[in-house]
Amino acid sequence: MTTPALELQHVAKVFRKDRDIVRAVDDVTLVVEKGEFITFLGPSGCGKTTTLRMIAGFELPTEGRILIGGRDMTNIPANKRGIGFVFQNYALFPHMSVFHNVAYGLKSRGEDPGRIREKVGNALELVGLAQAVHRYPNQLSGGEQQRVALARVLALEPSLLLMDEPLSNLDAKLRLHMRTEIRRLQKRLGITCIYVTHDQAEALTMADRIMVMQKGKVEQIGTPQEIYNHPRTLFVADFIGQANAIRLRTSGYADGKAWAKVPGGWQLAARTSGGTILEKGTEAALVIRPERIRLEADAQAAGTLAATVAAATFVGSHVEYELDLGEGNTLKATVPYDPNARLHQEGARVGVRIDQESALFIPIEAKQG
Amino acid sequence: MTAASASRIRRPSLALRDPALFFALVTLWLSLGLFIILPFLRLLQATFIKDGALTLANLVKVWGKAYNRRAFSGSIILATGVSLAGTLLAYLFALAVTRTHWPRWVRWLLSSITILPLISPPFTSSISLTLALGPNGMLLKALGLGELNFYGFWGTWLSETLTYFPVAFMVLAAILSAMDPNLDDAAFSLGASRRRMFWTVTVPLSMPGIANSLLLLFGSSLADFATPLILGGHKFPVLPTQAYLQITGMYDLRGGATLSVLLLLPALLVYGIQRWMIGRKSYVTVTGKSGARSNFATLPRGLEIAMVIVCGLVALFIAYLYFIILWGSAVRVWGVDNSFTMEHYAYVFTHGRKAITDTLKIGITSTVLGSLLAVVLGYLFQRFRFAGRKTMEFVSMLNYALPGTVVGIAYIIAFNEKPLLLTGTITILVAAYIFRYYATGIRSVMASLQQIDPSLEEASMSLGAGRVRTFMEVTVPLIIPAVLAGMRYLFIHSMTAISATIFLVSVRWTLLTTRILESMTELQFSQASAFSIVLIILVFIADIVMGWALRRSSLRFGTTQETSYDNTGA
């Protein structure tokens, strides 16, 4: 078995703010294999950037250990870690040309001028900016600055590449382009990469594995599909994609499935998150993805729940419905748009068909964390 | 790193974790201790401790003399007068420059003329006022006023007002031009007259600037030593001159120290209020919406007429004073034999040569060392969190807040005996200038660092550069404009300031300013004028060179650096 590229062992960062003690990062444990692309995903203030900055060595953890390539780096200063860091605002040196920005790290290492020129050229070639070598950062567009920032760290062939929301300052179209670009480079160079973002689409499309964080704690670590299909907590279910959550009490459990009486009267059976055994009468949320719901014009159709359409919004490729199940329960449904069929009008009674394979019970306690 | 978190886990001590920072802090505390804390404590010791016991005897003795009480009230009255008149004058100038539709060259001339007193040695206006209004005064004769004894309160007040109002002008011009002209439009559209708009919008919004300039001028006048020494005379004593005479005339170090402590109280009070005001948020905001910027409304007619008269006369008068000093330097005996001669300049460049080279040596050394220190301190205060940071910041600025006379007296007390026998050496002169005038440098470095995202330094670190290399190659190039602004201030003041160093000069090191003072006391007005002109030209050239370098370096990344000229405690 090879040494992991990065190991976080019970890492925590505690700030003292006035009289309160704030655990900005709390007990984060993670093992990253060589060549993996990991994203840290979470809302702002969840501790993802602080975790990244501790890996980089810009901040020291209050508790725990950080191992890079098997070496304990917990107290090693940033300049001795051999890590590449790409900043949200690029942090290009405004007083240096593109060449000198990219050459900066190589010079720190004391490489000879010929090698430096060659490596700078290669790095800029890699990001497609070889022609901009003599320009200054303020003469470059945002996307170009981003590429230079990338070239600057890639020139050093770091063992680990850390990126802090690197695309958030770019416009939407360029962002999409850079996503694939970064992923392509990462795969080609086989470099281990940790990428911080609050954009779930970015995380889902780029990552091998996602670490979802909230309030300093790890909510779940898994592949994009795992995270999407098997959220461990209500927070993850809600943060990644959209989710309907109906609060109810389970009425039975067997073989990884629980069932409960849903509004409308009948029993619905679904997996439990992580296959947890749910005692009868456990308070749980039944999580259903809006896109796993189909509507039928016949409210009485077999195997459907009767509901009233509260709102219908046409958004092009699909239609978003808000459905009223009665007893204060509502559902969101995302249905592919069919130009040949009529939209269900507001106030219409419809039959709601739920894909039971994808529905999931998450016990309510799990969301406290 | 908070204290709590540091104690939670065993972390290597600062000395091991960051030896460079540790070493820097130790060195800095040692030098601040030697040149700021020690003299200050020795001053308090000389005042409050006698025969090893705490006592108020010195204070009681000094206060017991009616003449000293007059000096105290004289200082306060003078400072109040200068502060009021200077602020009013500065406000009129600032309005004229920022709010009128007068021709551009007129406004340029007005703001240029205010720079002259800022870069001149503190004696300049005293000398030229003497030449104009003193015995044999040119203006007196021209106006046929005969004998008018202007020595005393009025002469000092007039001279200090003219010398210090430009400081207030800079503060007020900045605040007046930062206001949002849309407010004027709003007031107009609500039916206000020009006069009502001025009193209900412009003036209230200028209040923070007015308050600040009142305090600045009060402090400057309180600390001013040169002007009352020449123009105050025996009838009008003030604390700085009184303390000086106590020491140089009566060899009473303790008495001088006690008088300077009396001066310290109002000075620290003013400094404290100023810091407190800066801490509060001012309600003048500068919005970045330059697109929709309309013009400021015209001022009330009566006010504009008053401004034309006052600004015109004052500007003319300042120009006249500089002209008269130039003229005075080139006549045989002022008021007696007005024939042209270059003999005074010949004197300056022969007998005064040593003073010129000494002043330049000391000025350049102070500027170089002082700005290095300012960069290091500003960087530490802005970028690092370490125990005692706030205290260190306060201590490093202490000499700046104290009147020069107080610092000078503290220095002779502290450095007059072995093993710290430094009086008369270049070390002590340079130290006095550095620790007093590097404050502007520290502040502008801090302000400039605040504009620079720390991620630039982090980027450098993560690219493998150490702390020192990061500092030299990333931080320093980016704060060059701030460093230059600090150097400019340091140089001007190390060339011209006298209040602290008058106590520290010796035969070995003479300064141009002390030569001016000697010439004045020997009534060699023409010689004093020639020395002044040479000094003004030296400073002016240096100022132009540094101003040019500053503009060049700011242009490079499109940032502008505010230049601070404030003259406090010269």
Q: What is the mean pLDDT of chain B?
A: 83
Residue A266, pLDDT > 80, answer no
Q: Which of B8, B466, B467 sits opposite A62 (nearest CB)?
A: B8
Q: In chain B, which segments carry CATH 1.10.3720.10?
A: 66-222+299-328, 341-570
The sheet that has A71-72: what strands, in order across it?
Answer: A20-32, A6-17, A63-68, A71-72
Residue A198 sits in the same domain as residue A263: no
Tell whether A12 lies on the interface with B, counting CB pairs under 8 A. no
Alpha-carbon distances, residue B564 vs B483, B547, B567 (angstroms) = 12, 12, 9
Nearest CA in chain A to B555: A95
d(C-alpha A27, C-alpha A219), whole Å: 11
Nearest by CB to A78, from B8, B456, B458: name it: B458
Taking only the tens place, the pLDDT of each residue in A218-242 is: 999 999 999 998 899 989 998 988 8
Chain B touched by A19 (CB under 8 Å): no
Residue ending a domain, among A211, A234, A257, is: A234
Quick check: is A1 in a domain? no
Q: Which of A104, A161, A164 to mutate against chain B (most B CBs within 10 Å)?
A: A104
Confidence at A1, pLDDT banded by 50, 70, 90 = low
Q: Kindly state whether B453 is in contact with chain A, defined as any CB-CB distance less than 8 angstroms.
A: yes
Q: How confident is the model at residue B557 (pLDDT cuts 50, 70, 90)?
A: low
Residue at A227: amino acid letter: I
Same domain, A206 and A61: yes
pLDDT digits (tens, 9 = 90+) for B261-276: 888 888 888 888 877 8
A4-45 confidence digits (pLDDT tens): 999 999 999 998 777 788 889 999 999 999 999 999 999 988
- A271 and A143 co-located in one domain: no
Any idea which of A106-115, A133-142, B191-200, B376-385 has the lowest mean pLDDT?
B191-200
- What pLDDT is stored for residue B73 in this prediction? 92
Residue B29, pLDDT > 70, answer: yes
Please return the burial class of B521, using the count of CB atoms within 10 Å of its CB with bins 0-12, 13-18 and 19+: exposed
Which range (A360-369, B108-117, B381-390, B516-525) has the least confidence? A360-369
Q: What is the pTM of this model?
A: 0.77
Q: What pLDDT is recorded for position B182? A: 75
Report the complex ipTM. 0.78
Q: Would you call B458 and A85 a contact, using CB atoms and an 8 Å cutoff?
A: yes
Q: Which of the listed residues A218, A234, A250 is the one where a domain comes to its end?
A: A234
Please tell me the distance in Å from B254's CA to the nearest CA on chain A.
Answer: 46
Is A282 contained in some domain?
yes
Fold of B341-570: MetI-like fold (1.10.3720)
Q: What pLDDT is attached to residue A369?
A: 38
Interchain CB distance below 8 Å, B463 and A108:
yes
A·B CB contacts under 8 A: 92
Pairing label, strands A267-272, A360-363: parallel
Residue A319, in any domain of the structure: yes
Residue ending a domain, choose from A185, A208, A234: A234
Mean pLDDT, range B328-332, rounded to an integer: 88
Dihedral of CA atoms B465, B466, B471, B474 in degrees, nearest 10, equals: 10
Q: What is the pLDDT of residue B565?
A: 37
Q: What percent of chain A has pLDDT over 90?
A: 46
B4/A87 Cβ within 8 A: no
Residues A194 and A262 in one domain: no
Taking CB atoms and an 8 Å cutoff, what residues of chain A touch B11? 60, 75
- Whether residue A78 is contained in a domain is answered as yes
Question: If you average pLDDT over residues B169-190, what whole number do you get?
Answer: 81
Verify that A134 and A163 share a domain, yes or no: yes
pLDDT tops 90 at residue A48:
yes
The per-residue pLDDT of chain A, averaged, comes to 89
Say if A82 is an interface residue toward chain B (CB within 8 Å): yes
Which residues, 6+ apart, have CB-to-CB distance to B126 below 8 Å? B159, B226, B227, B230, B231, B520
Instruction: Report chain B residues whose CB lies below 8 A from the CB of A77.
Output: 461, 467
**DSSP track, A285-296:** EEEE-GGGEEEE
A113 found inside a domain: yes
Residues A172 and A53 in one domain: yes
Give the strand pairing for B331-333 and B337-340.
Answer: antiparallel
pLDDT in tens, B524-537: 888 899 999 999 99
Please report, as a single letter, which amino acid is at residue A277: I
Closest CB from B4, B458, B474 relative to A16? B4
**CATH architecture of the domain covering B66-222+299-328:** Orthogonal Bundle (1.10)
Write out chain A residues lying below 8 Å of B1, CB-based: 60
Could you tell me if A17 and A132 lie in one domain?
Answer: yes
Domain limits at A13?
Answer: 6-234
Beta partners for A254?
A257
- Overall domain count for chain A: 2
Say if CB A42 and CB A48 are below 8 A apart: yes
At residue B277 the predicted structure's pLDDT band, cuts being 50, 70 and 90, is confident
Query: Is A272 a member of any domain?
Result: yes
**Pair A183, A327 in one domain:** no
- Here the CATH number for the domain that contains residue A134 is 3.40.50.300
Least confident range of A48-57, A265-274, B104-113: A265-274
Closest by Cβ to B462, choosing from A83, A88, A95: A83
Same domain, residue pair A186 and A54: yes
